[in-house]
Structures are given as C-alpha cells and as structure tokens.
Amino acid sequence: MTATHMTQDATGPAPTVGFVGLGAMGRAMAGRLLRSGHAVRVWNRSPEPVAELVAQGAERAADLAAALRCDVVVSMLADDRAVNLLLDPGLLAGARPGLVHVNMATVSVELAQRATAVHTHHGLGYVAAPVLGRPPVAEAGQLTVLAAGAPELLDRVEPLLTVLGRRVWRLGDEPYLASAHKLAANYLIACAIGAMAEAAALVDAVGGEPADLIGVVTDSVLPGPVHTGYGTMIAERRYEPAGFRAVLGLKDVNLALTAGAEANVPLPLGGVLRDALLDAVAHGEGDHDWAVLAEVARRRAALD
C-alpha cells in the first residue's frame, strides 16, 4: 500500500477531547489543541502537569473514566503497560458511546492489535497515530503523524491530527500498521545515532575533532534533523535535557526486535543497539537523551 497524506477539513463542530498522559510530549500536544480552540479535558497520574494545562484553559478530569466521557480521547503514554490502563473492560464500558481513542504513543504491534479488538468489542473506535518529533515540534504543530485505522474513524479525528501535525500519513486500515511504522522509524533513528557515536569515537581516538566530522557529514552526505540534531549533541557530549530518554529508546528497540522476530525479519543491528542502550542504562544514563550512545562508544574505545 502506498501511504497518502491527509489535508485539513475544518467543517463540522470541534469535538470535546480527553487527553491522557501529560509528559513533555503530552503537555505540548494538549497545549497545542487548547490554543487551536478545542475543549480539552486532561488526566495524568501526577497533578502538576494537570494544573499547568488547567491554567491554560483545560478542564481537569476527576478521574480516568471522566476523560473517556468525551467525543475523542487522545493518549500519549510511555509504554504498553501504561496504555493497558485504558483497556480495562470496566473503564471502556463506561466510556461515551461512539468514543474514538487515538493512541499517539509508541507501543508494540501486539498491543495495537489487542487494543483494536477490545475497543471494537465495546463498540468504540481505536486509531493508532504515533508521531515523529520532539516537544518543541509538537508545540508548533509540526509533528509527523503516522495514522492507521478504519477510514471513517480517521476522517472523524482528522481535524485534531492536522492541528498537531504538519503532515498526517494514512498507513492502512489496521491500527497496528501505524505502530509498526513508528517502531521501524525509531529503529532507523537509533541506527543513525549509534553509527554517528562510533564514527565520532574513531575520529577522537586518532586525534581528530568529532565536531569537525559532524560538520562535514551534515553539510554534505547526511543533512537533515536526525544527523544534525543528534550529531551536535554527540560532538558536544551534551545529553540533557533529554528530548528522548535512553530508557525509552531501549524500550523501542526491544519492541522492534520483537516485531521482527514475530515476522521472521532478522534485525541484527538491533541486537547491537539493544546492548549499547543497556550499557547506558547500567551506567546510570537511562534518563539522558539517547544520543548518550556516544558515551557508550567512548567507554568501549577506552577514550575516558
């Protein structure tokens, strides 16, 4: 199937939006929806992000069930375990009839398949729409949104997605396809970071300047935000504040390896990346940006 992209259609009334999960990305996305004029009801385990969004005009959800009594609920949670909170049968039974759940987090293919079945059983809609981009990109509404689900459900949530993203790709009628695409995209990013980390260590070991290497390749053969952004962090050995934590990178590489194993697709670079990210976590660097793979490469080369 060839991916297509959506164009914004502002016709029809704006839905009330429940928003679950207010980490850095969730806060940026919920704020973007508020600024675009949407009514947003927010829920989060910790109260501080909720208070921040309420000050911007959001409604505080009394509990998780209240967030699901909206037209649409958007979730931006950390992992499969957190998303499982939204799959509780009792919770879904009390959701607003016709609710569409838009899961914008990076989760496993298996969870996406299970979530689709559970929502369908309760007469609810499920759309997977994970994103590419960091919080500042989300604040600007410039995310790349990878969306999959029943066409009529995608049509319903299109106005929300186009507020959040510069481009929204339709990747199929089954939500798990969007999850698979996002895992593959994050796998590619991890490979790029790992390769730059090792190349920078090589240049450093022979007496060169990693910053010069990054400058050369991003000005010529490898332009673009991944190599420029992460390359700069590697050259400067600057991994905080983290745009994407190493522990989450480890989670996504593991999910990609699992998806590959289930589809009989070898991902040999994934094993190397998994071990490097495990090394970072074992050295207390799990909350650093996953560009900290550069420190793993330096340790292996005995540069420090």
251 tagged catalytic: no
Q: Where are the alpha helices (DSSP H) in 104-230?
A: 109-121, 135-139, 151-164, 175-205, 210-218, 225
Looking at the DSSP assignment, which residues form a beta bridge with residue 103? 75, 128
The two three-digit tokens of residue 122, written as one number? 């309760």
185 three-state secondary structure: helix
Count other C-beta atoms under 10 Å from residue 293's C-beta.
28
**What DSSP character marks residue 62?**
S
C-alpha distance across the termini of the chain, in Å: 49
Contacts of 18 (CB under 8 A, 6+ apart): 40, 41, 42, 43, 61, 66, 67, 68, 69, 70, 72, 73, 74
Rounded Cα–Cα distance for residues 258 and 264 (Å): 10
- Beta-bridge mates of residue 146: 169
> Residue 273 — φ and ψ, nearest 5°?
-65, -40
Strands 165-170 and 4-5 come out as antiparallel
Of residues 101, 114, 134, 182, which has the active-site annotation? 182
Catalytic residues: 182
